[in-house]
Amino acid sequence: MLSAIPTPTNSAIGIGPLTIHYYALCIITGVAIAIWLGNKRYRAFAGNSDHSIGVVADVAIYAVPAGIVGGRIYHVISSPAQYFGENGNPLDALKIYEGGLGIWGAISLGALGAWLGFRKRTKNLELPSFRLFLDALAPGILIAQAIGRIGNWFNGELFGRPFSGPWALEIPLSKRPNGYLEYESFHPTFLYEAIWCLLIAVLLIWLTPKLNAGQGFAIYVALYCVGRFAIESLRIDDANEILGLRVNLWTALIVGLIASVLAIRFARHKTIDIG
């Protein structure tokens, strides 16, 4: 299909004895950009004061590993059959480079790791200061998510229902789920999510001067949930369901509502000075 987006034939490259997986490379690249942009924004929020130098990088030592572990745990819990089912291999749960990081778990444990790192690095126990810190990170996290989704493209995963439009994604037979073997192209849901994340990132950067402490991060989570709910509805990969809906749909709905309430609540609080 010449009009379809092809799925890469290789998901890794060998350099001597090393094997570099493109998914892992995308995650690393995204993290680096998130740290760079987060540091730039946080220093601007703090008026480029001396105490703000290196804070984001130091906190990342706690937040990034916690986010990766949390993301993997959520993925494994939400898709247990893949690892513990009849044909599953529990050891595959450790193969993060093959894809499978749940954003909900990554945000939850990543935020906890960031909170612990922020307290240790700044000695600041005030929640408003930490909320501003999260606001500074939000656009960079979104860009990192978008880059991470490109890694899913290399792995030939995260696609949706059969689709034959000009931006359809061609999926090789070996990666098509049961029941869809006769279809050649599908919705590139990884691409939809990447674009949605970038749009939210641009919006937040533009809105920053108008927001109070915590609003930016709450808006990030709320808007991401809106897009994820729509995109998740297109997915056809195996997933656990509750009352006929995929678990990720319920998570997007509940987390999105909570984030929306927090965004409204934070809008009533005055922004504080962390400089």
Secondary structure E strands in 75-211: 169-170, 185-186
Give the orientation angle of helix 55-78 with respect to helix 22-45, to 10 degrees: 140
Dist CA 170 CA 56 (whole Å)? 39
pLDDT in tens, the chain (275 residues): 456 799 998 888 888 788 888 988 999 999 999 999 999 999 998 777 767 788 899 999 999 999 888 888 888 877 766 777 667 677 777 777 666 678 888 888 999 999 999 888 877 655 568 899 999 999 999 999 999 999 999 999 889 999 998 899 999 999 998 899 999 999 999 999 999 999 999 999 999 888 998 999 999 999 999 999 999 999 988 777 788 888 889 999 999 999 999 999 998 865 544 44
- Residue 261 belongs to what H/E stretch? helix 247-266
Instruction: Pull the structure tokens for residue 234.
Output: 């297109």
Of the candidates 174, 175, 134, the residue with the CA atom closest to the CA atom of residue 45: 134
Scanning the structure block, which residue is given the tokens 């499978």?
Answer: 100
